[in-house]
Amino acid sequence: MGWDRDNTDYDDQGTEQQRYYAHLDFLRRAGKTAQADRLAAGGPPPPRKADGPEGWLAWHEHHPPTPEELDKLVDRLLDAGQITASQLTGHTLAPHDTATIATLRALIGARVTSRASTTPQ
């Protein structure tokens, strides 16, 4: 795809992923669904540091992670506090499988829901 993979954070226009999602949203709102579908089919460009763990999740939805990439992704999610080690207990996270990314997203969602339900009003 020719993506620039230096690890600079972003420029004034955001990261390549941020620009990708902004353009995808623009196409959908403009009613250009065929163009949006073609763009979405290829997935986002590789994440930059500024895209954080979410950027890696988005990337790996279209590019299933290798074992090494999966380990790094889980470490990123743990370091960011988006999942906990106890949440991973009982879950099989298979490399080379996009279902693994869906599982991680579900764990993140469960953690967010759990935090919201324990936050005092």
Q: What are 68-108's pLDDT values in tens digits?
A: 999 999 999 999 999 999 999 989 899 999 899 999 999 99
Query: Do 118 and 96 sit in the same domain of this protein?
Result: yes
Is residue 40 located within the same domain as residue 94?
Answer: no
Q: Say if residue 100 is in the same domain as residue 63.
A: yes
| Full-model pTM | 0.77
- What average pLDDT does this structure show over 45-57? 94
The token pair at 9 is 């954070």
Indicate if 27 and 61 belong to the same structural domain.
no
Percentage of residues in the chain with pLDDT exceeding 90? 74
Same domain, 32 and 72: no
The residues, ordered by sequence, that sit 6+ positions from 57 with a Cβ below 8 Å of its Cβ are 73, 101, 104, 105
Q: Which one-letter amino acid corresponds to residue 109?
A: G
Q: Are residues 100 and 60 in the same domain?
A: yes
Write out the residue range of the structural domain in which residue 109 sits.
52-121
Is 20 in the same domain as 74?
Answer: no
**For the chain, how many residues are written?**
121
**Token pair recorded at residue 80:** 């960011």
Q: Are residues 56 and 25 in the same domain?
A: no
Identify whether residues 116 and 60 lie together within a single domain: yes
The residues facing 27 across adjacent strands are none
70 vs 68: CA distance, rounded Å: 5
pLDDT confidence bin for 119, thresholds 50/70/90:
low
| Domain match, 105 and 56 both | yes
pLDDT one-digit tens code per residue, 25-47: 999 999 999 999 999 999 999 99
Residue 96 in any domain: the answer is: yes
Burial of residue 98, with CB atoms counted within 10 A of its CB: 0-12 exposed, 13-18 middle, 19 or more buried:
middle
Whether 19 has a pLDDT exceeding 90, the answer reads yes
Q: In the chain, how many domains are there?
A: 2
The yes-or-no verdict on residue 110 having pLDDT over 70 is yes
- Whether residue 91 sits in one domain with residue 34: no
Q: Is residue 8 part of a domain?
A: no
